A and B are shown apart, each in its own frame.
Chain A
């Protein structure tokens, strides 16, 4: 049972335009959400996060939006740059149990073209 879903395996966007990556989740206990970026042959690197008490978090060109009622979050990249080409993973966490384990989506490969 996939609790975090990224339904678009790939996305192609022109340089300078907006990239929108989407993520849906099913577990109502998730209260913290993160986006990771991954280049080939490297480990994932943290990009941006959002707590469930907020509906938006912005960091430079990156903005994450959270719609709790729809159990949906999105990552906006504006403007998109060629260096943004990577696989983006959405992750979610609940503050229950003994550790705040991350549950990951399957990833979306973003290609930013010139």
Chain B
């Protein structure tokens, strides 16, 4: 049982480049989330989805876009990377709004130079 899988695990980007982070879950969860973790800041919600075809902004959405074309996948895009987007990104999923325990992927460490 893979749970939540993130691709890639590491990436170095140059300022202005674009990239897409992929998150896949095999638990048939409705809700999916993208968080970023920065030193001294905890985990902050970027975007989330409450079902296939839906997306919504979280706490720090600027500079990111997301898509959820399939229930099991949630993509996070950076159109023009900036050094401020250097962070560790975590994808998570949860069953529904009642059972709120979220399951996390292993993270993607992104460095923008």
Contacts and interface: CB of A to CB of B under 8 A. Distances in A.
Contact of A44 (B31, B41, B100, B104): B104
Interface of A: 4, 6, 9, 32, 34, 36, 41-46, 49, 89, 93, 95, 98-107
Contacts of B100: 32, 34, 49, 93, 100, 102
B100 to A, nearest CB: 4
B74 interface: no
Given A43-B105, A46-B101, A89 B43 contact: yes
9 contacts: A32-B100, A36-B104, A42-B107, A43-B90, A43-B107, A49-B100, A99-B48, A101-B45, A104-B44
Contacts of B98: 95, 100
Interface residues of B, number: 27
B27 to A, nearest CB: 13
Contacts of A6: 42
Given A42-B107, A89-B43, A102 B97 contact: no
A105 B42 CA distance: 6
For the complex of A and B, the 3 pairs showing the least CB-CB separation, nearest first, are A43-B104, A106-B42, A104-B43
Interface in B56-113: 56, 58, 90, 92, 94, 97-98, 100-107
B94 to A, nearest CB: 7
Nearest to A33: B100
B65 to A, nearest CB: 18
A43 B53 CA distance: 26
Given A32-B100, A46-B101, A46-B102, A104 B42 contact: yes
A81 to B, nearest CB: 22
Contacts of B56: 98-99
Given A34-B100, A42-B106, A93-B100, A98 B50 contact: yes
Contacts of A46: 101-103
A105 B44 CA distance: 9
Contacts of B40: 9, 106
Given A95-B98, A98-B50, A106-B40, 12 more contacts: A4-B42, A6-B42, A43-B90, A44-B43, A44-B104, A49-B100, A95-B97, A98-B97, A99-B56, A100-B31, A102-B102, A104-B42
